[in-house]
Structure 1
């Protein structure tokens, strides 16, 4: 029997812990962004944005889907240390192999493709994001619901990076330092967390996984990988596509607006990540209870996101002017378009990750996001080519709208929608 009071306390602790990590990962870099924008200039900032977007593609490659599939396995097996160790080792070894393949591919690109040759040093420096992402297994701590102490290391690392930005970056000639500090904080946090990672295995040590475990993790993560790769195409990768044919200054304007809206969206991220294991366990035993939980979550977070959307639209001119100065005025229009994203992403996260994935609708989930990636390819390049950074932003919003509406339609058709009027929702 699960103690509801203890379970609620653990859930709140995990939300707060993930909130601390999100604050360290997004808010601190965001706070240093105005300094970097003014110190480096629009062109150098655009070059860093391009390099970081390339690194993010490789982060998605090495995540593969384990960041969502593995916490579910860990959550189910957390009372069996031997099983937890085998899952951890299988996932980590697979991610390391993917990181090695990605590193070799990046080396080839920096030697053969002109656009990559121009910023080869920046691209190699920002690849440290991939290594840091492997070293810090947030998915393990998330599945064990032991995020409280683990989050401390990420916060300390990000604080050191934050201080280093103002100490080491003084002009455009320090662009490599700026890139390393933007990307390398994850490595520092991961190294600091290694002892705690081993302790989380509770004496089971490191075990060479069976072939069946490797196969299981690859199979479980595959549909999530397709989904996250598709998501990356129309979110983080858009700065990459824009950077292939647009001037660095345009990428800089897009990057500033995107960072502002991502900093706003991170308010909702910790809640989503922390409730996922809870919803997964609930769905395994009582599907209707999981749907009722998600309905309450959607109504409450949706209302909050609507308020956030209105505030961002109204305050965009003042925020950009005060933080970045007149050189970044074109970012105002981009930010106002991006203001629609928090509401759409909250809705699609609850309908997709919290509902479709926990109810085993992985294939439908993947197909929707693959379709979204195709839509993005169809609209992004012409929109960005003809309308610049604002066109790129509109393409992003239209794809998010497609994802949200399609998920709602599929869930309604399957009779598993949290929005169904037939779903009896008791008072919280």
Structure 2
């Protein structure tokens, strides 16, 4: 029994280390974004910054297609077979082949869409550059390092890329017409770091590209499909709103205001995701459900108080940080703040908890449920004539709250599985 306690303590140490690494990665992203986003909003202006927001939203879809849920399915598979380097190398190779094929398909689809949609045609080069940057970034084998619980290298990679991008943007971006520099600099940073990561995998971790059968690639693709459906459903109540606004309010500052608010909420979500990201492989192996409640008790009061402060002072904060005129984004930011409040329990009670309970399919179902509700609400707004940036932001909050409620109900109905001694 003492050995088991010692082993669990050691595993918690690994969990803490990887959580810290993920937080360093996310904090650096947050800190550097705090520099680059206000700079971009001032140089580009709300209208051109709206174009960046639309491109970013469109790329969410293509990133989901190229990633195809491998960050979840492959992380779980690597975690279970981490001591078999040959098996891990086959997973690595199969995932990479699948991503290359999905990238080719994405380029064809984007080219067709840019030709078919007049509002996209003008910026098709900009969108295509963003897709190249997205594809290169998607080739990063984050799932390997998460599954192996060795986040140091990926952390260094993320910090270096973001630092490079921030410095170059400040040095080179001087007028709105130069907005294509944003994806170009991302391509350069992602490509250089991808080479470094692949070299590290080969030299330090003994993980290489290896011969695989077509059946292995297909099985890898099929296994990830369930996770893909869940992740693509998520985009329906996140990125879709920006795309909708780009159509109904093209060329106006409204898209820029919504994009900025969405960026802030996404940054907050990213600041909380390392907790669940590091817990996922840990919970898969250890089923330490008590840790879930401890984490929620610690963080939730802080999150609620922080959101209350932002809600009260939203307008002056936006004006001070992002420039004159951006205070008009305050209403939509307030409408989206409930997302920040519910996202941590939703993350933790999702794949980390439900997978450990043997109920991972319900984590996917909850997202599909939230997305279906969002589509229904979008139709209501459209037919009643109430679709605007504030109501769209509120719908995101409703969807996230519905997803959390779904997961809580599932866990409560299967609460007997929270006792790890049962079925052992």
TM-score (norm 1): 0.90
Question: After superposition, where does 1:8-47 map in structure 2 within 5 Å?
Answer: 8-47=12-51
Question: After superposition, where does 1:252-331 map in structure 2 within 5 Å?
Answer: 252-283=256-287, 290-331=288-329
**Contact residue 40 and residue 171 of structure 1 kept, 8 A:** yes
**Contact residue 99 and residue 130 of structure 1 kept, 8 A:** no
**Contact residue 133 and residue 183 of structure 2 kept, 8 A:** no
Aligned equivalent of 2:194, options 190, 193, 201 = 190
Deviation string 1:19-72 (CA, Å, 9 cap, x unpaired) is 222234444234211111111111100011101111111001111111011111
**Contact residue 305 and residue 342 of structure 1 kept, 8 A:** yes
Determine helix, strand or coil for the equivalent of 2:182: helix
> What is the CA-CA distance between 1:10 and the residue it aligns to?
2.0
Which residue is 2:352 aligned to? 354
Whole-Å separation in 2 of the counterparts to 1:212 and 1:334: 48
**Contact residue 308 and residue 342 of structure 1 kept, 8 A:** no
> What is the CA-CA distance between 1:355 and the residue it aligns to?
1.5
Whole-Å separation in 1 of the counterparts to 2:380 and 2:36: 33
Deviation string 1:104-151 (CA, Å, 9 cap, x unpaired) is 111111122212212211111111232223331111111111111331
**Correspondence 1:107 to 2:93:** no
Determine helix, strand or coil for the equivalent of 2:211: coil
> What is the CA-CA distance between 1:250 and the residue it aligns to?
0.9
Which residue is 2:332 aligned to? 334
**Correspondence 1:149 to 2:161:** no
**Contact residue 309 and residue 342 of structure 1 kept, 8 A:** yes
TM-score (norm 2): 0.91
Aligned equivalent of 2:233, options 230, 233, 248 = 230
Deviation string 1:161-200 (CA, Å, 9 cap, x unpaired) is 1001111111111111134346764344323322113235
**How many pairs align?**
413
Q: 1:192 to 1:237 in 2, by over 3 A?
A: farther
Q: 1:27 to 1:100 in 2, by over 3 A?
A: farther
Whole-Å separation in 2 of the counterparts to 1:363 and 1:77: 21
**Correspondence 1:167 to 2:165:** no
Aligned equivalent of 1:220, options 214, 220, 223 = 223
Aligned equivalent of 2:134, options 118, 126, 130 = 130
Where does structure 2 lack aligned partners over 5 or more consecutive residues?
none
Aligned equivalent of 2:78, options 74, 89, 107 = 74
* Structure 1 ranges of 4+ moved more than 6 A: none
**Contact residue 119 and residue 250 of structure 2 kept, 8 A:** no
Which residue is 2:341 aligned to? 343
State the Cα RMSD in Å: 2.2
Where does structure 1 lack aligned partners over 5 or more consecutive residues?
284-289
Deviation string 1:379-405 (CA, Å, 9 cap, x unpaired) is 236548625211111010011111111
Which residue is 2:401 aligned to? 401
